[in-house]
Chain A
């Protein structure tokens, strides 16, 4: 065995299954069930990283999620590179390649460590006080240098090939944490036949039972654990190991991430890397345990200095000795348990340095070399601790120093649930305050530190009317306020915050704990201050001579531990990012060679190039076809709403500007919807199919928002109206036929509708059959030509499209549609309007039903600004050169409007444009100017209708 610090027996690792891995290129061996941290320690490696600011050498401090130092990059090759992973949580797998971070050129020799030499200059907030001269240096010299020095690992350079899934779940009781309290809660909940889910962030369920050598309910702890898990499985309790509950959202919704493949050397390609659970639980029991509180003394950050309980865990769970000559700094009795366990494994405990003024019973009976009322004054050693200096001057050589400053209950999730915390004087820590029926806490996170008490609390919390009693006998004595020292005594290891920084901050007036946090960056590292926050708070309270509860704690923010972006994004990527909406005729249209464009969530055919045509030539041909013969257009994407009910007409009267109650069945009308502020929101055609039934169209992008707008008014403003709104956008396939030959093009396909101009005049609608299927046939036009829109049930769209296209009809796309409507001066909402346009601005004042008592937006139209004569108005703009949409229009050097639409008009054989120009209608005939970066273009203001001003062609 090449692992010098591995014990010969014990622990839950499998010595028969050696695992080869690499750290910084060095080949090492660990065992199955090791974490990267335990395997490194088994090989005697403590130095694993460099700190953020001073690049100080750092070692493994903990054995769990609270780890501040041991952050590594794990490289699985091929885009699968993950920075900033905690070695204490990374399960070892065969062939793992891990790298240390934030050092150059190497971990043991890091040039960045010069910042350590000048650390007195770099105290809290130093960057706010300097780097200001000369001014341009911030952007070009100082900031790039600071940025390069900051950051931890590197983001991968290649796209992540892994998959992530999301899943939803409901349960009666969700238990977070599978230690003794959590398992007891699960047993109790399962016993009352509840649907129970248990999640735990570790690979193995059991929590502290995994390192427990005492008895539980009369049997060895490990047997109790096996038995409990057995019973839970029998009761169909869902057990989720490797699953971290990271956030608590309104309505008892817990977000949890399950790591599915990160521990596997060669995962099956169909497995997702992680699965994000949304768990909606009737009751949540938090049994998330506690973490040990580190001590703040100078040199407390040297590799080899770690938490006492972590050392115990490494020994009992992983069979790893963290050193051979160990000093333990104790401020709580639980340190003795760790020390005794280590001594039993043959590790020399060279000193028990107990800061408490008198020896406790445990200390006296421990048989350890105890120094009472002593503390650690300093440590030395370059890349690993080699000596501790005590407050009494004694110097002790050692290769590990264990700290125990009491316990910090993991109240993170409970606090996120918005329940209050309370400060417990005995424990010197925050505990869950009053809990409700939906959120309960049990075990160490609730302040219970005795195994029996934990289990009792668990049973109570999982029980039917679980009001867990509080076991109020913490076996750990209160943590002492940190002793203040000279030298660098670290409070936040990862962000390199020292006691001195906290003092500087309070001296400078940063007294709120949130200010201290931000000024010094305490608790803002990737561990979110799991180890640092309480010590920082105690020190600040001490500095300000205030009790801790007066100062309060910083907000506990989601997530508890960092969550992969990919897991949060889930399967919404590529084609599934936002599913593409295609019309029923998509395949036919594509077969004709259409070039598509995204319009909202839809794909629409933009133009249909033939042979080598570019867009310009294709559009010109399509325009000619419509003006001279007939074209067909897939108009399915237009929003369609069926408005029914005895008050449908009244409702539409209030929503639209026009008087729709006067519309006769079988007729259509153009309609505008306004916002409450009087601005154009959307437009469309309203067709009356019967006394109480309307078929309303919206723009493509407006389909959802118009329905929403209507529902909003129906439900909140006009609840008395008997009207129902149904989105039928996807029920109907719509084919527009436009052009002088449109009637001939459809005549042979229409069965029972009279197409004669008198029988079906412009702006009318009939129901009947086309190509043998039920249809709604509209006679409407958005091109200025004779036009029809055929609506057939969506599934029949392709058949009808095929049948009509076979009659030699030219397909055209959105680009041609735009040109043709612009030639007629028809607006496109969102292009001619921008949320500041009222109907009269775009020449649509005529849509307003004057005699109507009210409609949405009416009152606003009477405001003084709406009546001004210099409002921007829609006009036509003619110029020798094609204009650019969005270009500004000036008169006498002042901007007076902009170009809203600009096209080459094949019909007029010249460029045309529409624009919104201040007092535009009074400027017709004037020459204005459009300034471009390289030149100025002269434009002549005209009427916005360029073609067939009388509208004769519509009535053909």
Chain B
């Protein structure tokens, strides 16, 4: 059943019920591929496995409700103006997919390329951002340098007064960057994968990974029984190290709470996404009118999604400096998610030391933007049993060889 204004009209007039967007099947005894984690990345992987590689005996196992992890908690900043060639390749691959994703899935994911502007508050930061602009140009990724008054023209409520504690010296703008509707991404991929025959099994927590005596994986243990699988792909974000430990694989990941908050809805005031690294805050306005605000991670590793109040306070200090007209607005909701952070702040995608076991994790504070691209190349990697060229540099192996892809060091920004 295709979604369109006509189907809406038909249902409005006829009053016939809508079909299910996805089934709630019982797990089968065996699958070709079992994906652990029904976040955006896991669901996209299932979708592309079925759609591009004809692998349809696929199950996505989710311990809670699909999309309820970081996918449904994030602030949805999308951009591809990363510094390193390897990063630019994967994020730009994703950005290209975002541009047509609604049509591809027949689900309005509301990708809104309204521009992502990153503010520079020091001479050093300006140099770093210019380096990004130059590197991005070579990689065919749009990114431009704005003077403070150009930044103000692009984002009228911004305070560019030179009297600011950290005055704005300029900004890097990626016009194709923007936001999307996080839930719709999970739901759209779930609906698409379901239509291609993928079983999405919610309330099904993986509790063990079983291996043949010779080493390869052959099944997973779950709260809904044992499920055999020829290949197992772990896409469990903040809980990846816990899941991979079940197969005896130790991951170089640390899990931190990351908080976000929204204001009460107001009429449109903020036309773009604004990020400020050095004072730790970023902001956009949802289509509903809420200001969506994010912060840096909490200082300590933890699996508790309840963060401290001081994090929200610190973030709002920064927001109120940049946007003094927002000071009277009010925080409506605050929440956190557990993000999985690697030593070089780049993801880990690909094979593991265990045959048949694949992993896609380490997206930390910034993996939503990669969802379509990550799923796409990860599916190819699982299907072929070898890394897709875009994925190859992101192998787990790099922590042994030392070929790190350090984005954090280059920009200290990861959203």
Seen from chain A, the residues whose Cβ lies within 8 Å of a Cβ on chain B are 52, 79-84, 118, 120-121, 123, 126-133, 135, 138-139, 143, 146-148, 150-160, 162, 166, 247, 249-250, 253, 255, 278, 416, 418, 504, 507-512, 514-515, 518-519, 526, 528, 555, 557-559, 562-566, 568-570, 572-575, 577-578, 580, 597-599, 606, 677-679, 830-831, 834-836, 860, 863-866, 884-888, 890, 895, 898, 931, 933
Q: How far is the CB of A547 from chain B (nearest CB, A)?
A: 16
Residues of B within 8 A of A250 (CB): 304, 306, 308
The interface residues of chain A lying within 8 Å CB-to-CB of B319 are 565, 569
Which of these, B110, B263, B304, B331, contacts A127 with CB under 8 Å? Answer: B110
- The reply to whether B268 and A887 contact each other, CB–CB distance below 8 Å, is no
**Bound complex: CA A416 to CA B306 (Å):** 9
B265 at the interface (CB under 8 A from A): yes
| Residues 54-98 (chain B) with a chain A CB within 8 angstroms | 64-68, 72, 85
Q: How far is the CA of A152 from the CA of B330 in the complex (A)?
A: 13
Of all chain B residues, the one with the shortest Cβ separation from A526 is: B264
With beta carbons under 8 angstroms apart, the residue of B9, B19, B289, B402 that contacts A678 is B402
Q: How far is the CA of A569 from the CA of B167 in the complex (A)?
A: 18
Asked whether, in the complex, the Cβ of A573 is within 8 Å of the Cβ of B103, the reply is no
Binds A, one of B208-216, B225-233, B369-377, B405-413: B405-413
A126 — which chain B residues lie within 8 A by C-beta? 8
Among B242-250, B321-329, B382-390, the stretch that binds chain A is B321-329
Give the complex CA separation of A59 and B234 in angstroms.
51
Interface residues of B (CB under 8 A from A): 3-5, 7-9, 11-13, 17-24, 64-68, 72, 85, 100, 102-103, 106-108, 110-114, 121-124, 127-135, 137-138, 157, 163, 165-167, 181, 183-184, 187-188, 202, 263-269, 279, 285, 287-289, 304, 306, 308-309, 312-313, 316-317, 319-321, 324-335, 343-344, 398, 400-404, 406, 408-410
Contact status of A887 and B134, CB under 8 A, knowing A507-B17, A565-B328, A836-B409: yes
Q: Among B100, B264, B266, B402, which residue has the most Cβ atoms of chain A within 10 A?
A: B402
Residues of B near A895 (CB, < 8 A) are 85, 135, 138
The answer, among A80, A129, A559, A572, for a CB contact under 8 Å with B7, is A129
Give the CA-CA distance A132 to B3 in the complex, in Å: 9
Query: Complex formed: what's the CA distance from A578 to B183 in Å?
Result: 37
Chain B neighbourhood of A569, CB < 8 A: 313, 316-317, 319-320, 327
Question: Are B325 and A570 interface neighbours, CB within 8 A?
Answer: no
Query: Which among A250, A510, A566, A575 has the highest number of chain B CB atoms within 10 Å?
Result: A566
Q: Are A518 and B289 in contact (CB under 8 A)?
A: no
Q: Which residues of A contact B333 (CB under 8 A)?
A: 528, 557-559
Residues of B within 8 A of A84 (CB): 264-266, 330
* Partner pick for A563 among B67, B327, B330, CB 8 A cutoff: B330
Q: By the criterion CB–CB under 8 Å, are B8 and A130 in contact?
A: yes
Contact A160-B404, Cβ < 8 Å, known A129-B8, A151-B265, A250-B306: no
Q: Which residues of A contact B102 (CB under 8 A)?
A: 132, 135, 138
Residue in B110, B264, B287 whose CB lies within 8 Å of A83: B264
Q: Is the CB of B289 within 8 A of A890?
A: no
**CB distance B320 to A574 under 8 Å?**
no
What residues on A are CB-neighbors of B11 within 8 Å? 123
Are the CB atoms of A129 and B4 closer together than 8 Å?
A: yes
* CB within 8 Å for A128 and B108 given contacts A148-B268, A526-B265, A886-B130: yes
Q: How many A-B residue pairs have CB under 8 A?
A: 299
Give the CA-CA distance A151 to B332 in the complex, in Å.
13
Evaluate whether A574 and B165 lie within 8 angstroms (CB atoms) in the complex, with A152-B289, A156-B328 already known: yes
Judging by beta carbons under 8 Å apart, are A865 and B108 in contact?
no
Contact partner of B328 (CB less than 8 A), chosen from A80, A519, A598, A606, is A80
B20 partner residues in chain A, CB cutoff 8 A = 507-509
12 contacts between A and B (CB under 8 A): A52-B265, A84-B265, A123-B11, A128-B188, A150-B265, A152-B289, A562-B331, A566-B327, A573-B321, A597-B123, A677-B404, A678-B402
- Which chain A residue has the least Cβ–Cβ distance from B329? A565
B residues within 8 A CB of A158?
325
User: Known contacts A155-B266, A577-B321, A599-B122; is A128 also within 8 Å of B107 by CB?
Assistant: yes
Residue of A nearest to B22 (CB): A509
Q: Which of B134, B138, B406 contacts A836 (CB 8 A)?
A: B406
Q: Which of A79, A519, A898 contacts B134 (CB 8 A)?
A: A898
Asked if residues A898 and B131 are in contact (CB atoms below 8 Å), the reply is: yes
Name B166's closest neighbour in chain A (CB-CB). Answer: A598
Residues of A within 8 A of B263 (CB): 562, 565
* Complex Cα–Cα for A557 and B306 (A): 9
Chain B residues within an 8 Å CB radius of A865: 398, 401-404
Q: How far is the CA of A129 from the CA of B134 in the complex (A)?
A: 40
